[in-house]
Homo-oligomer: A and B are copies of this chain.
């Protein structure tokens, strides 16, 4: 109900070019634009609700859309022909989704929790971006950051043990949620996991059973608490950092 009201308000806001009330305005790529230009871009986009589990873009399809995440968490994933899945990225509010200036999307984009994104047709976005260097500059910096993050993850996937992977994952989740939530400075010690065990396994290149065993052993060691299926409390961050092993 609350959410529906928000949605209506923001859809109208976008269509009249008023991005001024957007909660991620100052952190998303839009922050590169002058108010006038932002309004112009805003007219091309529209707010879209993406309920948990809904896939916004499919792997291998024509990349017709790009978007900014306003609220929620989404996964980027690819799979082998026989169905093994790997999550290659997790995006949070103010993150950018999609492949501008490209033909095909190399991965699916699926909401992990109920989310809201600011959606643009790719063609219109490309045209606009090409005419606004400051926007492209910000997009470039984002892409370079994502590239560094992806490469750090390659070290985890290629060389780390199950324990190290799970510890690294929990720390990463903790700091990303803190950044995105911005309601606190420094990483969070208590939060809800936006992923279930299978999805954590798909991020880490492990099985659900191995993830579960590692979580249990971390709990047994007094490093974390698991109050609910999806809730996590970090008791000993230093220990967790040591276990992450890099």
Contacts and interface: CB of A to CB of B under 8 A. Distances in A.
A150 B150 CA distance: 7
B147 A150 contact: yes
A157 to B, nearest CB: 4
A148 B80 contact: no
A230 interface: no
B160 A80 contact: yes
B151 A107 contact: yes
A114 interface: no
Interface stretch (A2-10, A50-58, A82-90, A171-179): A82-90
Nearest to A205: B158
A154 B86 contact: yes
A86 B155 contact: yes
Interface stretch (A15-23, A30-38, A133-141, A188-196): A133-141
How many subunits of this chain does the assembly comprise?
2
Contacts of A89: 151
A140 to B, nearest CB: 4
Contacts of A106: 148, 151-152
Nearest to A133: B133
A206 to B, nearest CB: 8
A224 interface: no
How many chain A residues sit at the interface, stated as a range, is 35 or more
A126 B100 CA distance: 22
A88 B136 CA distance: 25
A74 interface: no
A245 B151 contact: no
Nearest to A155: B86
A127 interface: no
Nearest to A104: B148
A97 interface: no
Interface string A113-141: 00000000000000000100100110111
Given A78-B154, A158-B204, 6 more contacts: A78-B155, A86-B155, A86-B159, A101-B140, A140-B140, A143-B147
21 contacts: A80-B159, A80-B160, A80-B246, A86-B159, A89-B151, A99-B144, A99-B148, A100-B140, A101-B144, A102-B144, A102-B148, A130-B137, A136-B136, A136-B140, A140-B143, A143-B143, A146-B147, A147-B150, A150-B150, A157-B157, A158-B205
